[in-house]
Structure formats: structure tokens, C-alpha cells
Structure 1
Amino acid sequence: MSARVTAGLPEDMETNVTPEEAQAEARANEDDLLTGLLAAASYKDDEDENVEIVISRRGKDLFSFRIHPLSEDDFNRCRKRCTKYVKSKSQAGIRVPEEVDTVKYRCMLIYEATVPEDRAKVWDNKKLWKAKDLATGIEAVDILLKAGEKNAICEKLDAISGYELTEEEVAKN
């Protein structure tokens, strides 16, 4: 017994497919789907997702590092750590956000997005910390990068983390 499966195909592409063939194709597609899902979930560890950032001034390359995409949880965790909270005047025992330290927030995002090997060499460089009297890698980000450089890196980070769609991606959707 065979079943006719047309599923929206043009008439000239209609084929006769047995239930066994349809089930085998579904299993193959399921494996492809699982492969795609697992690849999508591993974006932080996928070196192809990394972007190299080169810091250049006056035509001279000073240093470089790589960043990887961040998850929404990463962005939120950084925002919470950079937010000052105060007690609510209207509700006892409730703390409400007062302001976000945007400079620290951008530095923290760059630090968190930096590939671990590069983070150790650049931001967590103990010789730099000693020379500049720093206590954290986030402070190193702040003193090493100009405001515009931080902004450009954060824009690139937004793009690779999926917050900015290119015209091509918008057209696909």
C-alpha cells in the first residue's frame, strides 16, 4: 500500500512515497534538526563565532583580542552587577534599581566576551595591573580602551550575539 504525499509541492513535483519511506525521511530530518540544534547551542565554544578585535592608534596596531557571543543571561548578569539599588520609599523591604554604571557595564561586557586565553594575556595581565595599580581585569578594560573603542566593540558584540540583524538577515525573515 502506498500513500500519495504532496505537501504543497507543485503538481509536476508530486511523488508517490510509502509510509516507510516517509518515516525514514522524517528520521533523517530529525537527525539534521538535532545536529542544527546542538550547533546552535554551542555558539560560545565555536571558534568560527569568534571575532578578532585589533586596537590601532595612529596607524599602529597596539594589541588584539578575540570576543565570542554572549547569552542573554550573560548580558543580564553584567547589568545587575553594574546597577545601584536603593530601598523603595513606597514599599518596605523592596529594593529598586536607581542607576546603571554604563562605563562599568560596557567594560564588563567586553571582559566577559573576551576569549579566556586572550583575557588572561590582556585584561588579567598581572604586570599591567602592577604598573597601572589595577585590581581587576575590568579596570584594565577601562584604562586600555578609549570610549569610542569600547562603543565599537560593544556594537560588534551585539551583532555577533544576535542583537543586530543585517539587511540580509532581515530579508530572509
Structure 2
Amino acid sequence: MSTTTTGDGAPAPEPIRFFGTTWVDRGAAYWLRRVLVSLGALAATAAGALLLRLGVSGVRLSDAAPLSLLLMLAIGVCTALAGLRNWKILTEGRTSLTGWMAEDKSLAGVWLIGSVGALAAYFLRSLVEAPGEGLKRAVHDQQTATWQRRRSARAERDARRTARRRTG
């Protein structure tokens, strides 16, 4: 991850989708976006669930009605797996994914069918913080602390040099 800096050399925060860098100071714009993102995620979750419900109803009305139970079970499992994976991404980062959770291409169908679970996880996480904010805040705080230490050490060195020049 490349570090960008502000005008005074301090590390600049990484923007978060839908939030930009408003998560740093948590002003009024941040809280408004938090509410809107939560409502949007909830609406998307409800719309996705409705689409899945209509799809299962269509299968139930057809001659393949015995398969509807199997279909509902498959959708439930895919939803749970996708929700669990998305929660882990939002709380621990994409780099923490291992094993089956790290598979993007081979399990793309599972993630697509389970997108309602992923949206539900996003909604629940948006109630706590901007999704991904905890990770970005930890990295930004660490970079800022390192920058502060280096800046104070540099100031002390410069002060010692100036003092030596005056006495020397």
C-alpha cells in the first residue's frame, strides 16, 4: 500500500468507498453518509431477498416443486457463506482470507447466489462503523504515530545541531 502525504508531510488517510476521508474526523457529512449507506444496504438486501423469493416461487409453481426445498437450502448455505466472507473482509481485510474464503473465481457462483448475505453483512457492519473503517483507522493511526516520532526525533536532532553551532 503506497502512502500519500498531506502538505506538511503527514500521512494522508486512505479513502473509503461512499465515505471518502470523512471517517477521519467523523463530522456531520460522515454521519449522514453512514445513515444513507445503511439504508441503501438494507434496501439492496430486501430487494435481493425479494428476487430470490420470486425465483423460488417460480420453481415451486413449476413441475419441479420437489426441488424447491433443495433450492432454498442451497440459497441459504450460499447466503451464509457469502455473509461470513464479507463480514471477515470488512473487519479483518481481504488479505486475511484463507482457504475457501480466498477463492474468487472458482466460487463466484456461490458469492453471486449468496449476495443477499453479503449485503446483509455490509448493512450490519455499517451500523457499527463505515465498513472497513477499523482497518483504515488502525493503519492511519500507526502511520501517523510513526510520522510523529520521526518528526520529533528530527526536531531534537536539529535543536542539538543548532546548540552545538552556537557553543562551537
Q: State TM-score, norm by structure 2.
A: 0.29
Indicate the structure with greater strand content.
1
Indicate the structure with greater helix content.
2
Q: State TM-score, norm by structure 1.
A: 0.29
Q: Which has the higher contact order (CA 8 A, sep 6+)?
A: 2
